[in-house]
Amino acid sequence: MSSAQPNTRTRILQSTLELLEASGGKSVRMSDIARHAGISRQALYLHFTKRSELLIAATHYLDEMKESDQRLLPSREAVSGAERLNVYIEAWGNYIPEIYGVAKALIAMGDNDREANEAWEKRMLDMRQGCLAAISALADDDQLTVEFSIDQATDILWTMLSVRNWEQFTLQCGWSQSEYVKRMQSLASQLFVRK
Amino acid sequence: MSSAQPNTRTRILQSTLELLEASGGKSVRMSDIARHAGISRQALYLHFTKRSELLIAATHYLDEMKESDQRLLPSREAVSGAERLNVYIEAWGNYIPEIYGVAKALIAMGDNDREANEAWEKRMLDMRQGCLAAISALADDDQLTVEFSIDQATDILWTMLSVRNWEQFTLQCGWSQSEYVKRMQSLASQLFVRK
DNA sequence: ACTTTGCTTGACACGATGTCAATTGACAAA
DNA sequence: TTTGTCAATTGACATCGTGTCAAGCAAAGT
| Chain B interface includes A190 (CB < 8 A) | yes
Which nucleotide is closest to A12, CA to C1'?
Answer: D8
Q: Minimal CA–CA distance to B192: which of B140, B157, B164?
A: B157
Residue–nucleotide distance: A178 CA to C30 C1' (Å): 65
B38-57 tens-digit pLDDT: 999 999 999 999 999 999 99
Give the number of other Cβ atoms within 10 Å of residue B50's Cβ: 15
B112 is near strand C: CB distance < 7 Å: no
The domains located in chain A, with CATH, are 8-64 (1.10.10.60), 71-192 (1.10.357)
CB contact under 8 A, B190 and A190: yes
Which pLDDT belongs to residue B3? 37
CB contact under 8 A, A168 and B186: no
Q: What average pLDDT score do residues B93-97 get? A: 96
| Chain A interface includes B94 (CB < 8 A) | no
Q: What average pLDDT score do residues A116-132 get? A: 96
Residue of A nearest to B26 (CA): A111
A172-182 tens-digit pLDDT: 999 999 999 99
B7 is near strand C: CB distance < 7 Å: yes
Least confident of A63-77, A115-129, B168-182: A63-77
Least confident of A69-78, A126-135, B35-44: A69-78
Distances (CA, A) of A135 to A155, A163, A190: 10, 19, 13
